[in-house]
Amino acid sequence: MGFIRQSFKRQIFAVFLSVSLFLVILGGMVTVQTFQARVVLDYENRDLEQQKYVTGRISDMIGLADAAIDKIQKSDAIIEALTTGRRNSFNVYADLYEITNDIRNFSVIELYRGGNCRYSTKSGNSSDSLPDYYSALNEASRRSGTTIYSLNPGHASDSGSELLMVRKIVSGTEPGFVVIRIGQTEIENQIKDGINARDGFILVNRYLRPFCLLGTAADGKVLSSIRENLLTAKNYNHDLKDNIYMSELPDTDILSIYITPPVLEQSAINAGYRVIMLLALLSVLVCLLVASRFSVVFSKPISELYQAMKRFRKGDFDTKIELNREDEFEQLAVGFNKMTSQLKQTMEDQVKAERKVNETRIAMMQAQLNPHFLYNTLDTIKWVGKANQVPEIATLSASLAGILRSSISEKQFCKLSQEIQMIRNYCDIQRIRFDDCFDIEIKVEEKLLDAIVPKLILQPLIENSIIHGLDGQKNGHIDVRAYEDGDLYIEIQDNGKGITDEYIRALENDDVETLKGHLGMNNVNTIIRMYYGKDYGIHASRLTERGTLITVKLPLSFEEPESGI
């Protein structure tokens, strides 16, 4: 399984082959079983028709015999002879032969008075002795007017017996009976054209004693098995390989059993399954060829995509895939080509951004010539100012030294509190320069003082407010406020002359040419966006009455990033 999972091509091959084999085997089995069921159903219908035909012939025989009994019962000559006992043979036989003309070819008709046979259509003298089937006469006597169907005990055996039809037609101390005897041979002659050589037929009474056993049922084995099944409360055809069809003849106690061999022998079924296996083996060869071809067709685009990704990882950013297809693989190829183009463009943009940030930093630090030397010199000036009691010089030196100290730090980020201290130092210097013509008010929540921000982003904005906003006016005022609203917002508001719409649009569009003279604000905006993306940066607006509001939006974070751009 591991070998297959290591290759998409092999997976397609294995799946296609497995599905194909499954469908071939399943289809073959369904075909054989469907064919088997269809053949069995067709033969079962044929067997039922055969049984219906055979049963119909026997029913016709019995029907003719029963109709003859009805006519005998209406014959005055016969009734008088059986009632009085006087022999009037000519008239009796005349009526008897005329009435039984249609049934004498398959039966013997006898007339009894008491227990003695007085008249018979059988050749020879009729017997005056009590017949073996007296029990049938006795039952017919109890059920006067009803035809009794019984075995002939004198001819009964496991191989068959005569079928007796007995009806009492005269009452009295010596009742009269009509007895019709139908032998097994006569029954066979009537139905033999309806039984195939491989079929069997059994005619039994309600106790499963046979009147006749014909064809393949002649040995009595099937009847014996049926008896055993019924005696043990099983279905009558339990464990019998032959098809058994059992039905009752209408208005009689006689059952007909029709036996046919299995439609399909087990050997034929096994042969069908062997054919399926042979077809399955042939299908394996075909499936191997087809599956191999299909796996190549479907895995080729994946392989090309994989190779293109390898080339891209090795630095070939101009990698493209050309599949010339119209399916999902073509969509993957188009998506890959777009992705590589976008990644290439993103990398180029990142290089440009890094270059721009570096240029911005250089522009902000160009004025620092030997900053350590300047810092030491300013420290000396501060102490000279204090020694000569000139506090302004000490303030200027200390504030400028603080600014330089922050500027020469190699860190790219600092706490907001450090930025606040820098603008305080810067404003101390500018108030001395502009003779205290402005003041500044700073409001920052205590918890936000530890927020991490890019270094040197507030001083250029304060400088812009003092130089371009207040522009030397008296009673100038600058408000600095920081607050949290999901992100960190720092607002710088002055009451100067206000920023123009042109500068607002230029700031939004990074129009460097228009922002000449406001490069500090543009540089800060550029740095913020380089660090955090286009969703962050500077927004400028002109206040309704007077002045400008600069809003700086930054991500709120209290941890310094691992590295900058």
Cα gap 405→375, rounded to integer Å: 8
pLDDT at 536 over 70: yes
Mean pLDDT of 362-391: 56
Six-digit token string for 561: 């990033």
Task: State the pLDDT at residue 190.
Answer: 82
Six-digit token string for 108: 């013997």
Task: State the pLDDT at residue 549.
Answer: 92
Instruction: Count CB-CB contacts under 10 A for residue 175.
Output: 19
Cα gap 250→66, rounded to integer Å: 12
Mean pLDDT of 163-192: 87
Cα gap 490→442, rounded to integer Å: 11
Q: Which of 167, 526, 510 is nearest to 359 (CA)?
A: 526
Task: State the pLDDT at residue 412.
Answer: 83
Does residue 109 or residue 12 have the better pLDDT? 109
DSSP one-letter code for 239 = T
pLDDT at 537 over 50: yes
Long-range contacts of 71-79 (CB under 8 A, 24+ apart): 71/99, 72/96, 72/99, 72/100, 72/109, 72/111, 72/169, 72/178, 73/167, 73/169, 73/178, 75/99, 78/111, 78/119, 78/169, 79/169, 79/170, 79/176
Q: Which residues pair with 181 in a beta bridge?
A: 108, 164
Q: Assign 157 to helix, strand or coil.
A: strand
Mean pLDDT of 297-315: 76
> pLDDT-derived band of residue 444, with 50, 70 and 90 as boundaries?
very high
Task: State the pLDDT at residue 187.
Answer: 85
> pLDDT-derived band of residue 140, with 50, 70 and 90 as boundaries?
confident
Q: Assign 136 to helix, strand or coil.
A: helix
The angle formed by the CA atoms of residues 407, 401 and 455, to the nearest 5 degrees, is 25
Burial class (CB in 10 A: 0-12, 13-18, 19+), 34: exposed
Cα gap 117→119, rounded to integer Å: 6
Task: State the pLDDT at residue 133.
Answer: 63
Q: Return mean pLDDT, the chain.
A: 79
Helix (H) or strand (E) holding 256: strand 255-260
Distance spanning both ends of the chain, measured CA to CA: 48
Q: Which of 166-175, 301-310, 424-433 has the largest mean confidence? A: 166-175
Long-range contacts of 523-529 (CB under 8 A, 24+ apart): 523/360, 523/363, 523/364, 523/460, 524/456, 524/457, 524/460, 524/461, 524/552, 526/356, 526/357, 526/360, 527/357, 527/360, 527/361, 527/454, 527/457, 528/454, 528/457, 528/552, 528/554
pLDDT at 441 over 90: yes
> pLDDT-derived band of residue 515, with 50, 70 and 90 as boundaries?
low
Residue extents of the structural domains in the chain: 74-186, 411-418+435-554
Helix (H) or strand (E) holding 54: helix 8-73
In CATH terms, the fold of domain 411-418+435-554 is Heat Shock Protein 90 (3.30.565)
- pTM for the structure as a whole: 0.47
pLDDT at 564 over 50: no
What digits encode the pLDDT tens for the residues 67-84? 999 999 999 888 888 888
> pLDDT-derived band of residue 186, with 50, 70 and 90 as boundaries?
confident
pLDDT at 88 over 60: yes
pLDDT at 192 over 70: yes
C-alpha torsion 149→178→190→220, nearest 10: 40
Cα gap 524→361, rounded to integer Å: 10
Burial class (CB in 10 A: 0-12, 13-18, 19+), 168: buried
Main-chain dihedrals φ then ψ at residue 544, nearest 5 degrees:
-65, -50
Q: Which residues pair with 112 in a beta bridge?
A: 117, 177
Q: Which of 237, 238, 189 is nearest to 214 (CA)?
A: 189
pLDDT at 254 over 50: yes
In the CATH hierarchy, which top-level class contains the domain 74-186?
Answer: alpha beta
